[in-house]
Structure 1
């Protein structure tokens, strides 16, 4: 049985309404075939509803959804070549690991032997060879997660969906399982839409990230784009830590802005902003403790300093407010009240339009 292979997913002006509540508002995006794209955002932003619309578990109120170029907007879940791994794993407790994995082909009437072969192949792929006869209650959280992935993969869907797949795992296991999911996706060339509210997870696994806020897309791009060039204060604050500061753009020439950050003047890419008030987002690791005292540094005093093994978390009181600074390596602790000067790294300091 030849499979079609991974397919692209496209949303064209898609909205989802429940009565007077708009859960997803006029959303447009494309997930390229063979890529892993994360829908990232806080609770209630519309990301899970978007995922459920790809699956056909919710039917869009407006707009078009295409999978592999084919309009599936009104098709039911059963008529789409899509599989979903649920947050709860949704394994059948009375079925063995093998029976769980073989469920899809069995229901499709492919015969017991074929279903068993397909399930065995996918269980081997996720590292569960030898676990076929166990029951879900006899497995760890990470193993249950893998059974859910094997079951979703068994029919080789065009699109694989993950809804907060790591939220039931502890922190160490989470890192390992997200690496396994990414490896599987790349090795098998799968199209994956992945929902999470955990920005570190999104940065680690994604080809592209779609950040959602209030039922709309706030920004989409590569993990690096979003981290280093956030489109607005929400994205800057949601992806990683950021110091958000009111600044003044003094002048702009050839795409470079001269920016007053308190008493310091710093050159930054203008990002098409004009002279006047703006905001700047500064990553904590992009503030550097400086020995030089000139017009490009910001004076301050140490308010707090905490030792976290491989780095220090520092709060510095400055003319533009308290700034959070991370110093990596094994620096010496800094005394409260000690004077310091902060300079700005080449990356991780970015102008963002005022709201």
Structure 2
């Protein structure tokens, strides 16, 4: 998929209309353990929605219930408006790309991709033609005779995607699809998956525990914690307006600090943070102590310390090429700070003035 030159030409060919996915108060229990607890959400047709959360939060179980690989204990699951709660995986018109890829090692690339249509009764000629179309679509034409062991990790990932696409499902599911790839390849393949999803207007449910991956590929993100939904929103909403402490701490890096909400004026509030006063959306809170999420790149530090400024001291500096990361001791706590575009780090032990980009990356957290 790193060179999907034929994508636009083939995008309209032979693809079913995208379908919605809806969970209505769905619960999944394994004995006395509740893996998914009263979860409701909707994935709109043609959108990529990521289920994001730490291990054990219920995201993979939720994905498997969409696929029909697990059955709901309570509630309803609808795909394209049709109740599929009690239907088997074979009757749901969905395809899944597994974390392990699950390719057949004794089959060629072409045979792997053609396997699904063959099982569904297509002739060998038709199954191979369908498989070749998808292999061309994702940039693997010319590799169809190779064995999976002769491919790179990224190429194996693409074969798994082609095998899922060849059945032209209403919904495509990804279970941690990039976890077996190195960092540079993960970035390239996630861009390819996003381009493919948008060009083919696919409905995709995507599971990952990687926050950066979720922010990069998603139309919407469903953050899960302890078998429940902690927050649903666009990547920007989750990053800039976390609904609670868990989301603020889990989505990207955040400095969690305590300020004092001193007054309200319409939708905004004056919030005192040490020697600095910020004008922020109050998000439904009144005067008193409030928690704030402060993103590392929203903290600005300057060696020119003026009287009355919020002052701190650099305790650690790390040069990472495109950015410099600092740890700064301050009256409001130890802060993690990221600076871009600077070549020479501020030396540890240097006093600095601390300020904030209040329109970006600083938010009151409305719930504990």
Q: Aligned runs of 1:82-161 on 2, under 5 Å? A: 82-161=94-173
Deviation at 1:104, TM superposition (A): 0.8
Tell which deviates more after alignment, 22-31 or 261-270. 261-270
Matched-pair contact (CA < 8 Å) for 1:278–1:354: no
CA distance in 2, matches of 1:3, 1:332: 53
Matched-pair contact (CA < 8 Å) for 1:277–1:354: no
Aligned partner (choices 267, 281, 286) of residue 293 of structure 2: 281
Distance 1:85 1:338, change over 3 A: same
Deviation at 1:252, TM superposition (A): 1.4
After superposition, what is the alpha-carbon deviation per residue over 1:88-110, rounded to whole angstroms, capped at 9, x for unaligned? 00011111111100011100001
CA distance in 2, matches of 1:240, 1:109: 47
Distance 1:292 1:211, change over 3 A: same
Deviation at 1:331, TM superposition (A): 4.4
Report the 3-state secondary structure (helix = DSSP H, G, I; strand = E; otherwise coil) of the residue aligned with 1:335: coil
Under a length normalisation based on structure 1, what TM-score does the superposition of the two structures give? Answer: 0.97
Q: State the match for 2:4 in structure 1.
A: none
Report the 3-state secondary structure (helix = DSSP H, G, I; strand = E; otherwise coil) of the residue aligned with 1:334: coil
- Residue 360 (structure 2) pairs with residue 351 (structure 1): no
- The runs of 5 or more residues in structure 1 that have no matched partner are none
Q: Aligned runs of 1:1-355 on 2, under 5 Å? A: 4-290=16-302, 291=304, 293=306, 297-345=309-357, 346-355=359-368
After superposition, what is the alpha-carbon deviation per residue over 1:9-38, rounded to whole angstroms, capped at 9, x for unaligned? 000000100011000001111101111110
Matched-pair contact (CA < 8 Å) for 1:283–1:349: yes
Report the 3-state secondary structure (helix = DSSP H, G, I; strand = E; otherwise coil) of the residue aligned with 1:10: strand
Tell which deviates more after alignment, 49-58 or 104-113. 104-113
CA distance in 1, matches of 2:114, 2:367: 54
**RMSD over aligned Cα atoms:** 1.4
CA distance in 1, matches of 2:153, 2:348: 44
After superposition, what is the alpha-carbon deviation per residue over 1:235-255, rounded to whole angstroms, capped at 9, x for unaligned? 111111100012221111211
Deviation at 1:277, TM superposition (A): 1.5
Deviation at 1:3, TM superposition (A): 6.0
CA distance in 2, matches of 1:27, 1:50: 9
Report the 3-state secondary structure (helix = DSSP H, G, I; strand = E; otherwise coil) of the residue aligned with 1:103: helix
CA distance in 1, matches of 2:315, 2:136: 54
Matched-pair contact (CA < 8 Å) for 1:255–1:271: yes
Under a length normalisation based on structure 2, what TM-score does the superposition of the two structures give? Answer: 0.93
CA distance in 1, matches of 2:360, 2:307: 20
CA distance in 1, matches of 2:305, 2:19: 55
Deviation at 1:337, TM superposition (A): 2.1
Matched-pair contact (CA < 8 Å) for 2:305–2:352: no
Q: Kindly report structure 1 stretches of 4+ aligned residues shifted beyond 3 Å.
A: 1-4, 290-295
Report the 3-state secondary structure (helix = DSSP H, G, I; strand = E; otherwise coil) of the residue aligned with 1:102: helix
